[in-house]
Each structure stands twice: as C-alpha cells, then as structure tokens.
Amino acid sequence: MSNLAELLLRVGALAAVAWVFATLLHALVFSIHVVQSASMVPTLRIGDRVLVVKSCVLGVNPAQGDIVVARTPKLPEESIRREVIKRVLWIEASNIVLARWSWHQRNQDWRPDSARLFIIGDNIDFSRDSRHYGAIPGEDILGLAVYIVWPPKRTGWLTRRTRRKTS
C-alpha cells in the first residue's frame, strides 16, 4: 500500500471515529437549540443558537433563574407539544407565593405545585409560557441552556442572572 493510500485510510478512520464521538455527544450530552421567538428578548434573540446540556446528563434539577429548554403541554389549539426556551421562575416546593408580581397577570396569586416548574419568558409581552399552560412537570425539562454559540458577536455564558441589553 502506498504512503498516500495509507494516509487516506488513517484520515478516514479518524474522521469516522470523530463523527461517531460527536454523534454520541449530541445524542446523549448536549444539543444546539435555535431560538424561534422573541419571548426571551433581550437575553436571547430570534436566530440565536444556544448550547443546551441535556437534563439526563446533569443529574440535577434546574434552579430558579436558570434558562431551560422544555416541552410544553399539548394545548387544545395546537396539534403537537412544542419545545420552548424559558427562564425558571420557581420550582417544586420552593414555598414562593408571587402576588401581583410584574411578571404575572396582575391581581392573581401563583403557588408552585409539587414537582413542577413555572417557566416564563423574559419578554413577557411576547411570551406564551406557564401563565398560559400552567406549571410543567420536571420530566418535561429537556436541558439547561448554558452558552450562546451564534452569532459570534453575542457569544457568552448564560447564568441565572444573565439579562442582556438590547444593543
């Protein structure tokens, strides 16, 4: 076998191993979520690509203030359950009672149900969230959004306190 053929065989084998490794990482550890709506502006914008660490890998529940990707309940006017990216307002039995808070419908109290999460968009005027479909079960959390990977001018870590300016 010639040196060129041997080199091509090795490069091909290395590419195949890299592809299998990347596919397993994507299937089991992380995914890229494309922001589809303005519900998280100014933190996230339409078209942003966000790295999401899958819940099954974390082994922990998201905390209040985290940005998560979740599966919504199937609503009567929709034929499928959608994946959304929202901020966790409260979780499980955090014993928070939110009365007439600016993120909620005025003059209405909200109490967390056991083992459920109340998720809400940062841009409440353009967000369809737990105010519409109620708290969601923890098993509907698909992962934790950790990093904006695209566009390059907006890359950065997403933390519990991340609220980006509209610039």
Question: How many residues can be counted in the chain?
Answer: 167
Q: Are 142 and 58 in contact (CB under 8 A)?
A: no
Q: Are 109 and 98 in contact (CB under 8 A)?
A: yes
Domain membership of residue 163 (yes or no) is: no
pLDDT score, position 138:
82
Mean per-residue pLDDT over the chain, rounded: 79
pLDDT at 13 over 80: yes
Nearest-CA neighbor of 70 among 164, 145, 122?
145
pLDDT score, position 89:
87
Q: Which domain holds residue 113?
A: 31-157
pLDDT score, position 92:
63
- What is the C-alpha end-to-end distance of the chain, expressed in Å? 59
What CATH number is given to the structural domain containing 82?
A: 2.10.109.10
pLDDT score, position 15:
93
Q: How confident is the model at residue 75 (pLDDT cuts 50, 70, 90)?
A: confident
Q: Mean per-residue pLDDT for 54-61?
A: 66
Domain membership of residue 14 (yes or no) is: no
Distance set, CA 162 to CA 3, 49, 68, 85, 122 (Å): 53, 16, 13, 14, 10
Domain membership of residue 35 (yes or no) is: yes
Domain membership of residue 11 (yes or no) is: no
Q: What is the pLDDT of residues 98-108, one digit of tens each?
A: 443 444 444 44
Choice between 63 and 83, residue whose per-residue pLDDT is larger: 83
Q: Mean per-residue pLDDT for 10-37?
A: 88
Q: Domain tally for the chain?
A: 1
How far is 138 from 134, CA to CA, in rounded Å?
A: 13
Distance from chain centroid for Cα 95: 24
